[in-house]
Amino acid sequence: MEKKYIITYELKNKTKDYSTLYQAIKNLSKYWWHYIDSSWVVKHCELNSDEIFEKLRSHIDTQTDYILVIEINTENKQGWLPKKAWNWLKS
């Protein structure tokens, strides 16, 4: 079964450049989407949630920021997103 993860965060350090975090998330898999500002969904990722977190940890300020990585079940979902987003989640 294909695993999908949601990565969500609160980035509080106003002086930090988070572009390396965003690139690190994109590097997890070529299959990702980012429809909600502080959340990403990644699929076809070979890593588990611990390994994903370790890849991203160095790109946040561990004194001020928060990050959460959770495997998601896209068969049990609900929300308000563009049709394109729902189609992507189903694929």
SS3 assignment, position 4: strand
Q: Is the pTM of this model over 0.75?
A: yes
Q: Which residues neighbour 66 within 8 Å (Cβ) at sequence distance 6 or greater?
A: 9, 10, 12
Total domains, the chain: 1
Print the SS3 string covering 24-80. Answer: HHHCCCCEEEEEECCEEEEECCCCCHHHHHHHHHCCCCCCCCEEEEEEECCCCCCCC
User: pLDDT digit of tens for each residue in the chain (91 aa)?
Assistant: 578 999 999 999 999 999 999 999 999 999 999 999 999 999 998 899 999 999 999 999 999 999 999 999 888 889 999 999 888 888 8
Residue 14 gets which letter from DSSP?
T
Here the CATH number for the domain that contains residue 38 is 3.30.70.240
- The parent domain of residue 85 ranges over 4-90
Strand-strand pairing, 39-43 and 66-72:
unpaired
